[in-house]
C-alpha cells in the first residue's frame, strides 16, 4: 500500500523491523503489529495514560508519553520501554510494583501499567517527591476504580523503600 | 468447628491474586484477546436519534475484498429482541432507530480497516422522525415503541401524607447523566464450537445473562452457548447489559471464524448504558423540634430509548427518597420513561444517588428553616432498628445511622490551607476569593437484588494436598471478589494455595456483579462449599485416627484434635481430592406493595463530611477532604475495603462536580475523555475512612456489600459543602463553574401536573391505585408492620 512505511524500532531491548501505515499510532504498532500488550488502549486520545510508555524517539530524550499520540513513523529508530522493562527478568517485581500491590493500588488494573511506568519515571528523576509533585507527575493517568488514594500511598511507599527507610 | 484467621485469611489485607500479572502488564484483558484466523467485527450505528429505515443495501459492503459477513436484522436467526428486564430492544435495528448510536448492521472482515470500510459501504436510507428528548413530554406523546413510553410507574403512600408540621420545605432537583467510564472499552472474542454452538470470551458483569440473551438471538439452546469471563477493566454497572456479545456470536456463526470486537472510546459511550438523569421534587414538613412529619416526593427518570433496568431503578429512587430517616407519613410517585435519548441502566448506586442528592439537600434546607444544626436534624430523625420503612418493610438488621453520623463527626476537621487551591496545581484561583465550606450527608443503600429478583450463586470448591480450587460464575471486574474467595478458602480450609478459576457458564449462575451483592452471594456460596469440603476432609482424618470428627478443627492450615496439632491440611490425605458444590440464595423479597412488605435483602449506611474550597469568582471547586464512616458489617480486607470506599467517593464526587454526558437533540456531544471529565489524581481529596462493624445477620462473619454506599453519599455531601461555601441553592448536579460564578444552575421547570398515562399497566410491573396501596398497607397493619405506626 502506498502509505506504508518501514522502520526499525527497539522495544524492551528487542530490535524490530516494522511495516506500518503512516496513520497508525505507536500504540497500534506495539499492540497489533508486535504483540506487545502491556500498554493498554483506554481512550486513544492521550487523556487516560493507560498506554503510557517510556520512549526515546531518536532525540536522546527518553520520557514518558502516551503511545496513542505518537504517529508510528515518528518513532523510527527509537527506543521504547514498556511495562515489560520494569521489574526483574524472572518476573521479579520492582519496588514500585511491589508497593502498588501492598497498598491496594490495583483494582481492575487496566490503568496500572501506565501508572507504574509514570511513577517509576518520577522516582528516577525525583526520589523524594512531595504529594504535589506526585500529582503533577501522575495527573495524565486516569484511574476509575481506586480513587487514587492507594496509588499515592504506593508511590510514597516506593519512595521510602528506595531511600532505605522502613515502611 | 471454629474458624481462625491465618496468613492471608479473612480480616487481613491479603493481596489480589491477579495483582502481580496486573502490575507487570501481563494480565489479559478482553481487548488483548486474539485467535488464529480471527476476523474483526465493526458496528454500523444510527446517526439519527429517531428515524425510519426505508432501505438497507449491504451488497456493496459484502463485495469488498476481505469482508466475510454483513448482518442486519433480517439475518438474526433467533429472536430479534433482547433486554435485561423487558425484551424491547432489537439486536439490530428493526426498521426504526430510536437512539443515535443504535446498531443497524455489523460487519466481520479480515482487519479493522476493512471492516470499517465495509460498514461505511452499507447503504442505509433513513426517514428522520421527530426526536422525543424531553422525558416529561414522553408521558403524553405518541408511543415511540409498541410497548409504550412508560417503563414503570410506581405510586404509594403511608400514614397521612397531608400531615403538616410548622416548617415545610419544597424543592426540585436535577441530576445529570453519568457515564460509568470504565477505562477498558468493551471487547470480546467469539468463535463457533464443533457442536454447532458458539463460545465467547467477554468482559462482562453477568455471564448467564449474556448466555441467555445470546441464546435468544442465535436461536441456540443455553448448553450450546458458552460464555467465559475475559479480563475486565472496570464495569460499575456499565457492562450489565449486552452490547457486542450477540453481534460477535452471530458473526462467528455466520462466518465460521473467530470474531473479535473492541469498541473505541466514542463507541463505548454510545453503546453502553448510562446513569439515569432525573428530576426530583420533594416536600418535607417538620415539627418545631425538627422531627420529620411528612415527606412527599415525585421522580421522573429519563430511561432513554430502551428499557434495560429502568423499571427497577425507578423503584429504588422512589422508595429511598425517605433517606435514612424515620418517615411516618408520605406520598411517593415516580416514572421512568422512554425517550430518544441514550438508554440508561445500571450504574453504581442504581437509582439511589439521585434520591440521596435530593433528600440530603432537603434535610439541609429543613435545618436552615428551623435554625438547627444539619447533623442534629439528621440524628433526630435517624432510622433505628425496628423502624418501618414507608414501603412497609421493617428494619430488622443493624441500622446504624446514628453511629455512622457520629463516627464521621468525630473526625477532626482539616486545618490550614488546602493542598491544592481550586483550579488544581495550576492554582488559577486567588486566595482572596476562596471560601471554605463544610457539608454533611448520610444515605441508605439497598444491597443485593430486590423485589423478588432471584439472588443466588453457586460455588464449587475442591481441595487436594492443601491446594484449593474455587469455581464460580462471579465476574471479577476489579472489585476484589477473587481476593475474598481466596481469603475464605484459606480461613475455612486452611489451604496453603488457592486458585480461583476462570468464571464461565459451565457452573450455575452467580448473578450479576452489581448491587453490592457478590461478597454476600458468591462469597457465601464459597464459604458454604469450603465448609462442606472441610467436613469431608475432617471426616476422613477422624476415621483414620479413630476420632470423632466433631473434635477436629482447622487453624492456620493445621488440623487439631481437642486443640492439639494432629496433622496439616496439606498432609492430611495425600493425593486425595475433596470436592463440594454449594448454593446460596438470599432470603426472598417481594415487589413493592406486596403484603409481605419485604422489598430489599438488606441495607448499607454511609455518612460523610466534605470540606471544600471554592473560588466564587471563577466557580472552581477543590475538595479538600472527605471523612467517611460506613457501616460495613465486618472488615474482610482492610486495604481493599479502603480502595472501595475511596473509589466510590471519587466517582460520586465526579457526578457532583464534573461528570455529565451532554445530550443535545438526542445526540451525545462529549463521547470522549477530552470533554467528558472524570476526576484525576489532582481532583481527588484526602479521604479519612472509618467504619461501623455491626455484623449482618445470616452472613458469614457478618459481612455485607460495601461498593455502592460511598458513591451515594459523596454526591450530596460535596453539593452540601459547596452550598455552604457559596450560599447558593445549587439544586442540580453536576455543579459547574458557571452555576457558581454566574449563579446559574437552577433545574428546568417541571410542572408535575402531567396526567397519568392512559393505560397505567403499559409496561410497569407494579402500578398501585390508591385503594390497592391502602389494601396492601392495611394488611401490613394487621400483621403488626404498620408503616404509619
Domain CATH number, residue A148: 1.10.150.120
C-alpha cell at B231: 479480563
Contacts (Cβ under 8 Å, ≥6 apart) of A92: none
pLDDT of residue B750: 54
- A8 lies in the same domain as A75: yes
Segment (H or E) for B300: strand B292-304
Residue B5 has pLDDT above 70, yes or no: no
Spatial distance between the Cα atoms of B765 and B147, rounded to a whole number of angstroms: 13
Q: Do A145 and B478 touch (CB under 8 A)?
A: yes
Q: Looking at the structure, do residues A81 and A114 belong to the same domain, yes or no?
A: no
Q: Do A112 and B264 touch (CB under 8 A)?
A: no
Residue A114 located in a structural domain: yes
pLDDT score at B762 = 27
The arithmetic mean of pLDDT across residues B616-626, rounded, is 94
Q: Domain end: A85, A104, A127, which one?
A: A85
Which of B15, B18, B22 is the mutation pick for testing A, counting most A CBs within 10 A?
A: B22
Q: Let me know if residue A15 belongs to a domain.
A: yes
Residues A99 and A65 in one domain: no
Could you read off the pLDDT of B738-771 as tens digits, one per residue?
999 998 766 555 555 443 433 332 222 233 334 4
Q: Give chain A's domain count.
A: 2
| Closest Cα in chain B to A24 | B113
Burial B641-680, CB ≥16 within 10 A → b, else e: bbbbbbbbbbbbbbbbbbbbbebeebbbebbbbeebbbbb
**B757 against B679, higher pLDDT:** B679
* A90 inside domain: no
Q: Which of B657, B660, B677, B661 is nearest to B718 (CA)?
A: B657
pLDDT (mean) for B323-331: 97
Q: Which of A44, A106, A136 sits opposite B19 (nearest CB)?
A: A106
The verdict on a CB contact (< 8 Å) between B646 and A108 is: no
Burial class of residue B341, CB neighbours in 10 A (0-12, 13-18, 19+): buried
Question: Strands A4-11, A52-56: parallel, antiparallel or unpaired by DSSP?
Answer: unpaired
> Would A144 be classed as within a structural domain?
yes
d(CA B584, CA B706): 19
In a domain, A75, yes or no: yes
A104 with B234: Cβ contact below 8 A: no
- CA B323, CA B320: separation in Å to the nearest integer? 5
For residue B270, the model assigns a pLDDT of 98
Is A158 in CB contact (< 8 Å) with chain B?
no
Q: Report d(CA B377, CA B366) in Å as an integer.
A: 8
Q: Could you list the residue range(s) of the whole structural domain that residue A114 is in?
A: 95-163
Task: Check whether residue A59 and residue A40 sit in a common domain.
Answer: yes
Cβ under 8 Å to B: A residues 91-130: 91, 93, 97, 100-113, 116
Cβ–Cβ pairs < 8 A, chains A and B: 181
Q: Is the peptide bond before B560 cis (omega within 30 degrees of 0)?
A: no
Partner residue facing A112 (CB), from B23, B235, B425: B23
- B763 or B35, greater pLDDT: B35
Higher pLDDT, B3 or B139: B139
Per residue in A41-59, pLDDT tens? 999 999 999 999 999 998 8
Pick from A59, A85, A111: which residue ends a domain? A85
Is the same domain home to A67 and A103? no
Residues A121, A152: one domain?
yes
Mean pLDDT value of segment B498-521 = 98
pLDDT of residue A2: 61
Higher pLDDT, B429 or B557: B557
* Residues 12 through 71 of chain A touching chain B, CB cutoff 8 Å: 31, 37-45, 47-48, 50
pLDDT band at B773 (very low <50, low <70, confident <90, very high): very low
Same domain, A72 and A19: yes
Here the cell at position B486 is 481466596
Query: How far is Cα B136 from Cα B132, in angstroms, rounded to an integer?
Result: 10
Same domain, A26 and A70: yes
Query: What value does the mean pLDDT take over residues B30-36?
Result: 97
- Do A122 and A159 sit in the same domain of this protein? yes
Is residue A132, in this structure, part of any structural domain at all?
Answer: yes
Burial class (CB in 10 A: 0-12, 13-18, 19+), B771: exposed
Write the DSSP string, B29-82.
Answer: BGGG---TT-EEEEEEE-SSSSEEEEEEE-HHHHHSTTEEEEE-GGG--S-SEE
Using the structure block, give the residue that is written with the C-alpha cell 437484588: B449
Do A19 and A67 belong to one domain? yes
Nearest one of B338, B312, B324, B357 to B451, comparing CA atoms: B312
Residues in A touching B26 (Cβ below 8 Å): 38, 84
pLDDT at B777 over 90: no
B 413-442 residues inside an 8 A Cβ radius of A: 419-420, 424-425
Q: Quote the pLDDT of residue B160.
A: 94
Helix (H, G, I), strand (E, B) or coil at B564: strand
C-alpha cell at B767: 402500578
List, for residues B190-226, the tens digit of each pLDDT value: 999 999 999 999 999 999 999 999 999 999 999 999 9
Among the three residues A63, A85, A107, which one is the final residue of a domain in this structure? A85
Q: Which of A107, A135, A142 sits opposite B647 (nearest CB)?
A: A107
Coil, helix or strand for A28?
A: helix
Q: What's the CATH code of the domain at A37?
A: 3.10.20.30
Asked whether the beta carbons of residue B265 and residue A45 sit closer than 8 angstroms, the reply is yes
Could you tell me if the ipTM is greater than 0.85? yes
On whether residue A133 sits in a domain, the answer given is yes
Within a domain: A80: yes
Residue B53 pLDDT greater than 60, yes or no: yes
Partners of A157 on chain B (C-beta within 8 Å) are none
Pick from B468-472, B605-609, B777-781: least confident: B777-781
Partner residue facing B684 (CB), from A101, A109, A147: A147
Kindly determine whether residue B682 and residue A139, on different chains, have CB atoms separated by under 8 Å. yes
User: A109 and B22 in contact by Cβ < 8 A?
Assistant: yes
Residues of B in contact with A97 (CB under 8 A): 20, 23-24
Chain B residues lying within 8 Å of A89, measured CB to CB: none
E strand spans, B617-736: 620-631, 663-664, 667-668, 686-692, 732-733
Residues A153, A99 share a domain: yes
Asked whether the predicted pLDDT for residue B23 surpasses 50, the reply is yes
B747 or A89, greater pLDDT: A89
- For B573-603, the pLDDT digits (tens) are 999 999 999 999 999 999 999 988 999 999 9
Strand partners, B167: B286
Nearest C-alpha in B relative to A130 = B419
Cβ–Cβ under 8 Å, residues B720 and B440: yes
Locate the chain A residue with the closest alpha carbon to B269.
A43
**Do A81 and A35 share a structural domain?**
yes
Range in B26-30, B87-91, B213-217, B763-767 with the lowest mean pLDDT: B763-767
Q: Which domains does chain B have, with CATH numbers?
A: 30-131+182-271 (3.90.1170.50), 456-585 (3.30.365.10)
Amino acid at each position: 500500500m502506498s502509505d506504508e512505511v518501514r522502520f526499525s524500532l527497539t522495544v524492551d531491548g528487542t530490535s524490530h523491523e516494522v511495516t506500518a501505515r503512516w496513520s497508525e499510532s505507536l500504540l497500534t504498532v506495539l499492540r497489533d503489529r508486535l504483540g506487545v500488550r502491556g500498554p493498554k488502549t483506554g481512550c486513544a486520545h492521550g487523556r487516560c495514560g493507560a498506554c503510557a510508555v517510556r520512549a526515546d524517539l531518536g532525540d536522546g530524550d527518553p520520557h514518558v508519553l502516551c503511545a496513542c499520540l505518537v504517529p508510528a513513523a515518528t518513532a523510527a529508530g527509537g527506543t521504547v520501554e514498556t511495562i515489560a522493562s520494569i521489574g526483574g527478568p524472572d518476573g521479579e517485581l520492582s519496588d514500585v510494583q511491589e508497593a502498588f500491590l501492598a497498598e491496594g493500588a490495583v483494582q481492575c488494573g487496566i490503568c496500572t501499567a501506565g501508572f507504574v511506568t509514570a511513577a517509576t519515571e518520577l522516582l528516577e528523576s525525583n526520589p523524594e517527591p512531595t504529594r504535589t509533585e506526585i500529582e503533577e507527575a501522575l495527573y495524565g493517568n486516569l484511574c476509575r476504580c481506586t480513587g487514587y488514594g492507594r496509588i499515592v500511598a504506593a508511590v510514597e511507599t516506593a519512595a521510602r523503600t528506595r531511600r532505605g527507610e522502613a515502611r | 468447628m471454629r474458624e481462625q484467621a491465618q496468613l492471608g485469611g479473612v480480616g487481613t489485607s491479603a493481596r489480589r491474586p491477579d495483582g502481580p500479572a496486573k502490575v507487570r502488564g501481563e494480565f489479559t484483558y478482553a481487548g488483548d484477546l486474539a485467535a488464529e484466523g480471527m476476523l474483526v467485527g465493526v458496528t454500523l450505528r444510527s446517526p439519527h436519534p429517531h428515524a425510519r429505515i426505508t432501505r438497507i443495501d449491504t451488497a456493496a459492503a459484502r463485495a469488498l475484498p476481505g469482508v466475510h459477513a454483513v448482518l442486519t436484522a433480517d439475518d438474526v436467526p433467533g429472536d430479534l429482541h433482547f433486554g435485561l428486564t423487558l425484551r424491547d430492544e432489537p439486536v439490530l435495528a428493526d426498521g426504526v432507530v430510536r437512539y443515535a448510536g443504535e446498531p443497524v448492521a455489523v460487519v466481520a472482515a479480515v482487519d479493522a480497516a476493512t471492516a470499517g470500510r465495509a460498514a461505511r459501504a452499507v447503504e442505509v436510507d433513513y426517514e428522520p422522525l421527530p426526536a422525543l428528548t424531553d422525558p416529561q413530554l414522553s408521558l403524553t406523546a405518541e408511543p415511540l415503541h409498541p410497548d409504550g413510553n412508560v417503563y414503570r410507574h410506581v405510586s404509594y403512600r403511608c400514614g397521612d401524607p397531608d400531615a403538616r408540621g410548622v416548617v415545610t420545605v419544597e424543592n426540585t432537583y436535577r441530576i445529570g447523566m453519568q457515564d460509568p467510564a470504565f477505562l477498558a472499552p468493551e471487547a470480546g472474542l467469539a468463535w463457533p464450537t464443533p457442536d454447532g454452538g458458539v463460545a465467547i470470551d467477554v468482559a462482562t458483569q453477568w455471564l448467564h445473562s449474556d448466555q441467555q440473551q445470546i441464546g435468544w438471538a442465535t436461536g441456540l439452546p443455553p448448553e450450546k452457548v458458552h460464555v467465559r469471563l475475559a479480563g475486565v477493566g472496570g464495569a460499575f454497572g456499565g457492562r450489565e447489559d449486552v452490547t457486542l456479545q450477540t453481534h460477535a456470536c452471530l458473526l462467528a456463526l455466520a462466518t465460521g471464524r473467530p470474531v473479535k470486537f473492541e469498541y473505541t472510546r466514542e463507541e463505548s459511550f454510545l453503546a453502553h448504558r448510562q446513569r439515569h438523569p432525573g428530576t426530583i421534587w420533594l416536600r418535607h414538613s417538620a415539627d418545631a423540634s425538627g422531627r420529620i412529619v411528612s415527606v412527599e416526593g415525585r421522580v421522573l427518570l429519563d430511561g432513554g430509548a430502551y428499557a434495560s433496568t429502568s423499571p427497577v431503578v425507578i423503584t429504588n429512587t422512589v422508595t429511598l427518597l425517605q433517606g435514612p430517616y424515620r418517615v411516618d407519613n408520605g406520598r411517593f410517585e415516580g416514572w421512568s420513561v422512554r425517550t430518544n435519548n441514550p438508554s440508561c441502566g445500571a450504574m453504581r448506586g442504581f437509582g439511589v444517588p439521585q434520591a440521596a442528592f435530593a433528600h440530603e439537600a432537603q434535610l439541609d434546607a429543613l435545618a436552615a428553616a428551623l435554625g438547627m444544626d444539619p447533623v442534629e436534624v439528621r440524628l433526630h430523625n435517624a432510622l433505628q432498628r425496628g423502624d418501618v420503612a414507608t414501603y412497609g418493610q421493617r428494619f430488622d438488621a443493624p441500622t446504624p445511622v446514628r453511629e455512622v453520623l457520629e463516627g464521621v463527626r468525630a473526625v477532626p476537621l482539616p486545618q490550614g490551607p488546602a493542598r491544592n487551591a481550586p483550579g488544581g496545581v495550576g492554582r488559577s484561583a486567588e486566595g482572596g476569593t476562596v471560601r471554605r465550606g463544610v457539608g454533611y450527608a448520610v444515605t441508605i443503600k439497598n444491597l443485593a437484588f430486590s423485589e423478588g429478583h432471584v439472588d443466588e450463586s453457586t460455588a464449587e470448591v475442591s481441595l487436594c494436598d492443601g491446594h484449593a480450587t474455587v469455581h464460580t460464575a462471579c465476574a471479577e471486574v476489579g472489585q476484589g471478589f477473587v481476593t475474598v474467595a481466596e481469603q475464605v478458602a484459606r480461613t475455612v480450609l486452611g489451604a496453603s494455595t488457592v486458585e480461583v478459576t476462570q468464571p464461565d457458564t459451565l457452573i450455575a449462575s452467580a448473578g450479576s456483579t452489581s448491587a453490592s451483592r457478590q461478597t454476600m452471594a458468591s462469597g457465601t456460596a464459597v464459604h458454604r462449599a469450603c465448609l462442606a469440603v472441610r467436613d469431608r476432609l475432617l471426616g476422613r482424618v477422624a476415621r483414620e485416627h479413630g476420632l470423632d470428627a466433631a473434635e477436629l478443627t482447622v487453624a492456620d492450615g493445621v488440623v487439631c484434635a481437642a486443640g492439639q496439632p494432629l496433622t496439616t491440611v496439606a498432609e492430611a490425605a495425600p493425593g486425595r481430592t475433596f470436592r463440594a458444590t454449594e448454593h446460596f440464595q438470599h432470603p426472598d423479597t417481594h415487589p413493592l406493595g406486596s403484603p409481605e412488605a419485604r422489598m430489599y435483602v438488606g441495607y448499607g449506611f454511609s455518612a460523610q463530611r466534605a470540606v471544600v474550597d471554592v473560588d466564587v469568582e471563577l466557580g472552581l471547586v477543590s475538595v479538600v477532604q472527605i471523612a467517611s464512616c460506613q457501616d460495613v458489617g465486618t472488615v474482610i480486607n482492610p486495604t481493599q475495603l479502603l480502595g472501595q470506599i475511596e473509589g466510590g467517593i471519587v466517582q460520586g464526587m465526579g457526578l457532583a462536580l464534573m461528570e455529565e454526558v451532554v445530550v443535545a437533540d438526542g445526540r451525545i456531544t462529549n463521547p470522549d475523555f477530552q470533554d467528558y471529565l472524570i476526576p484525576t489524581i489532582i481532583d481527588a481529596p484526602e479521604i479519612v475512612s472509618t467504619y461501623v462493624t455491626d455484623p449482618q445477620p445470616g452472613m458469614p462473619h457478618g459481612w455485607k456489600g460495601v461498593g455502592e454506599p460511598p458513591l451515594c453519599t459523596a454526591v450530596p455531601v460535596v453539593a452540601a459543602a459547596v452550598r455552604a461555601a457559596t450560599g447558593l441553592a445549587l439544586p442540580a448536579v453536576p455543579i459547574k463553574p458557571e452555576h457558581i460564578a454566574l449563579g446559574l444552575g437552577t433545574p428546568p421547570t417541571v410542572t408535575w401536573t402531567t396526567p397519568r398515562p392512559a393505560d397505567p399497566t403499559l409496561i410497569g410491573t407494579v402500578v398501585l391505585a390508591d385503594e390497592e396501596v391502602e389494601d396492601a398497607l392495611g394488611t401490613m397493619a394487621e400483621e403488626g408492620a404498620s408503616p404509619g405506626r
